[in-house]
A = this chain, B = another copy of it.
């Protein structure tokens, strides 16, 4: 047997995905087009149907097509655009950008949960929380002001924790397994301690990330991450 010299490796699901994607993005298969069935594509590409299926599932997940049994796969008119943003630890984010990270605890206190927090976290009247504020610096300049509340009823260990050297985020990661998270992004006006710590003028626009974390149905922590002027959250897709 003379082996096939041009030895084309098998068709991979990446090949199929790329081929289909390019037909969609170059307009060959415009919005509303029904794509050939998986069987037909498998034959056309010379591969198994499972391979086409995986390619198609990924394209569907990207939001470019809509799949339904019997009716087939249709190119979406208005792609469900979804952007993915990485939510790294602030220290990692700064290091990734080549900066030097520094952490500084500002304050800690244990107190009954204020009303607005009880609503957010679904706490009862008797629940106590630990309130931590801290600063994160990049290359010596203020980068983020962290304002965090931790449910001491659900997580009594927090009463023993010190956040002198280690930020509350790191402590929580070690203390609590994976959890459900609700994130909100917004623009707010700088006021109070925020101005002092971030060097904002009062009323200046602050980019804020608000995050509430739940574990097994209980709210564990609520945090406001307030960013220094000029901060942008970006992504490509």
A92-103 contact mask (Cβ, 8 Å, vs B): 1 or 0: 100000000000
Q: How many angstroms from the CA of A84 to the CA of B237 in the assembled complex?
A: 12
CB distance from A216 to the nearest CB of B (A): 8
B84 near A83: Cβ-Cβ < 8 Å: yes
A211-225 contact mask (Cβ, 8 Å, vs B): 1 or 0: 000011000000000
Question: Provided the pairs A82-B85, A177-B25 are in contact, do residues A205 and B233 lie with their beta carbons within 8 angstroms?
Answer: no
CB distance from A124 to the nearest CB of B (A): 23
A80 near B88: Cβ-Cβ < 8 Å: yes
A163-192 contact mask (Cβ, 8 Å, vs B): 1 or 0: 000000000011001111111111111000
CB distance from A65 to the nearest CB of B (A): 10
A70 within 8 A of B: no
B187 near A187: Cβ-Cβ < 8 Å: yes
A89 within 8 A of B: yes
Interface pairs A-B: 3 shortest CB-CB: A187-B187, A205-B205, A187-B205
A-B contact pairs, 29 of them (CB 8 A): A24-B178, A25-B178, A25-B215, A25-B216, A26-B177, A26-B216, A31-B177, A78-B92, A80-B86, A82-B84, A82-B86, A82-B87, A85-B85, A180-B236, A182-B234, A182-B235, A182-B236, A184-B232, A184-B234, A185-B207, A186-B187, A186-B233, A187-B208, A188-B205, A189-B204, A203-B203, A204-B205, A205-B205, A205-B206
